[in-house]
Structure 1
Amino acid sequence: MDMSTARPVDRYFASYSGDHRNSTNQAIHVVAVPAILWSVIALLWCIPPLLPWFQHGIWAALAMFGTWAYYNRLSRPLGIGMLILFFVAGCVCRLLEDRLGIPMLLRIAIGVFVLAWIAQFIGHKIEGRRPSFLTDLTYLLIGPIWVLAKLFRQFGWHY
């Protein structure tokens, strides 16, 4: 494929894939990237609302909406997939908030965030390449849809 005429999502994936060739690193990313995504949503969920009629989760909802809009612009099918994943992540956060409370949700989110990033850096140590986001912070957003695109390809779905 000629990268000068490729869709932006395909150019991002080509570059991101170049930094993730090792199968062990890829396997780590398939687990750690969604864990990081969920933990960021959960951390945002724990930020208190500024206005009394809002509930916890408003900041996460706003961030998920903005991120979803970006993903949907890159690829409608991946945007729909991420919308579903964001919905599930929000439901998990709401369930944990209800069952365990915000302080415990915050502790879990921090723990998942730290462990998943440690795994990511171990994967890149094995790979022998720097993480893509050290070149361009946009790749922090590309990781989750790169993992989702791998799932799409396994099912033969086009994105």
Structure 2
Amino acid sequence: MAASPFRPALDLMVQYARYHRDRRNIATHFVGIPLIVFAIGILLARAQVELGGYALNAAWLLWALSTIWYLTRGSLVLGLATALVNALLMALAEPFAAAAVSTGSWLAWGIGAFIVGWIIQFVGHYYEGKKPAFVDDLVGLLVGPMFVVGEALFALGWGRGMLAEIERQAGPTHLRDLAHPLA
């Protein structure tokens, strides 16, 4: 049984990091996860939702709901940054779903980006030698974008305390020796 999806950001990041310590895997996630979020934006942008008298496409509705979740995990900077990156991906996705775009083209872009994103993810997990985090806990699908944004922020010098605690609990990043994977 999966733990609560309403855990603090640090707990979520530690759990996700336990599946992502190989630097090659983390690098693939910088491409794969944005592609998947972008693809979801494309695929959901044509579905219109009526909410309080306002028409909203399903991509932006999902963005709003996920943003509420990110902002309530206890790390305002990480939540805001993740919401902003996801908003940029949703905005970039909209033209690929526009009414002027043929249905075939819309589906090709959406499904194509989704499949390519997941292929890149699975290549990373080959290097890691572990299954993706969402296999054990579906909340990993939400944590993935937060993890990538967090890794980018850590690289820029933000969140040193959070990074230290992640590494204390999940271990440091490394390059797994593929010639001796059990060593």
Q: Tell me the TM-score range normalised by the shorter chain.
A: 0.7 to 0.9
How many residues matched? 150
Larger relative helix fraction: 1
Query: Structure 1 residues 144 and 28, CA, compared in 2 at 3 Å: closer, same or farther?
Result: same
2:86 partner letter:
F
Give the conservation status (yes or no) of the 8 Å contact 2:32–2:118: yes
Q: Deviations over 1:37-86 (max 9, x none)?
A: 11112111133x266x976x611111100001000111211221123223
Q: Secondary structure at the match of 1:43?
A: helix
Corresponding residue of 1:9: 9
State the 1:97 CA deviation: 3.9
Partner secondary structure for residue 138 of structure 2 = coil
Distance in 1, Cα, partners of 2:10 & 2:138:
17
Contact 2:46 2:98 in 1 (8 A): no
Cross-structure match for 2:43? 43
Unaligned runs of 5+ in 1: 1-6
Partner of 1:3: none
Instruction: Answer yes or no: is the 8 Å Cα contact 2:45–2:58 preserved in 1.
Output: yes
- TM-score, scaled relative to structure 2: 0.73
Q: CA deviation at 1:120?
A: 1.1
Give % identity: 28
Change (3 A) 1:147 1:46: same
Indicate the larger mover: 97-106 or 29-38.
97-106
In the aligned structure 1, how far is the partner of 2:136 from the partner of 2:153? 26
5 Å-filtered alignment, 1:1-159, equals: 8-47=8-47, 49=48, 58-74=57-73, 75-98=75-98, 101=101, 103=103, 104-158=105-159
Structure 2 unmatched runs, 5+ = 1-6, 163-183
- Give distance in 2, aligned partners of 1:61 and 1:121: 27
Q: Is the 8 A contact 1:20 1:127 kept in 2?
A: yes
Deviates more, 1:99-108 or 1:133-142: 99-108
What letter matches 1:86 in structure 2? Answer: N
The amino acid that maps onto 1:44 is L
- Cα 1:77–1:64 change in 2 (3 A) is same
Q: Equivalents in 2 of 1:50, 1:60: separation in Å?
A: 10
